[in-house]
Amino acid sequence: MTFGLDLPAGIILPSVAIGALYGRALGTTFKMWQEAYPKVFLFGNCEPDIPCVTPGLYAIVGAASALGGATRMTVSIVVIMFELTGALTYVIPIMIAVMLSKWCGDIFGKRGIYESWIELNEYPFLDQRDDTTPPDVPAHKVMTTVDDLTVITAVGHTIDSLRHLLLTTSYRGYPVVTDTSNPILLGYISRNELSFALKYSKSPTDRELSSETQVFFAHQPFADPVETLDLRPWMDQTPITLNSGTTFSLVLQMFQRLGLRYILLSDKGVLQGLLTKKDVWSVLNGPEFRKGGFSRENVVRPVNTAEEVGLLESDDVTSMASSLERRQSL
User: Domain boundaries in the chain?
Assistant: 11-120, 139-285
CA–CA distance, 69 with 114 (Å, rounded to integer): 12
For residue 236, the model assigns a pLDDT of 92
Angle in degrees, 0-180, between the axes of helices 113-120 and 55-71, rounded to the nearest 10 = 30
276 or 132, higher pLDDT: 276
Q: What is the DSSP string of 79-125?
A: HHHHHHH--GGGHHHHHHHHHHHHHHHHHH-S--HHHHHHHHTT---
190 or 7, higher pLDDT: 190
Confidence of residue 321 (pLDDT cuts 50, 70, 90): very low
Confidence of residue 220 (pLDDT cuts 50, 70, 90): confident
Confidence of residue 301 (pLDDT cuts 50, 70, 90): very low
Confidence of residue 311 (pLDDT cuts 50, 70, 90): very low
Q: What is the 3-class SS of 153-208, one letter each residue?
A: ECCCEEHHHHHHHHHHCCCCEEEEECCCCCCEEEEEEEHHHHHHHHHHCCCCCCCC
Average pLDDT, the chain: 80
pLDDT surpasses 90 at 101: yes
The dihedral of CA 180, 183, 186, 189: what is its sign? positive
- What does the pLDDT average to over 11-38? 88
At 55-81, the pLDDT tens digits run: 888 999 999 999 999 888 889 999 988
Confidence of residue 166 (pLDDT cuts 50, 70, 90): very high
Q: What are phi and psi of 234, to 5 degrees?
A: -90, -5
At 186-212, the pLDDT tens digits run: 999 999 999 988 887 765 555 677 788
- What does the pLDDT average to over 162-171? 91
pLDDT surpasses 50 at 240: yes
Contact 283, 128 (CB under 8 A): no
Q: Is the pTM of this model over 0.85?
A: no
110 or 185, higher pLDDT: 185
CA–CA distance, 225 with 38 (Å, rounded to integer): 93
CA–CA distance, 28 with 1 (Å, rounded to integer): 26
Element (H, E) at 18: helix 12-36
For residue 326, the model assigns a pLDDT of 42
Looking at the domain 139-285, which fold is it? Answer: CBS-domain (3.10.580)
Closest CA to 262 of 139, 147, 153, 152: 139
Provide the greatest CA pair distance for the chain.
Answer: 100
The percent of residues above 90 in pLDDT, for the chain, comes to 30
For residue 4, the model assigns a pLDDT of 66
CA–CA distance, 209 with 194 (Å, rounded to integer): 15
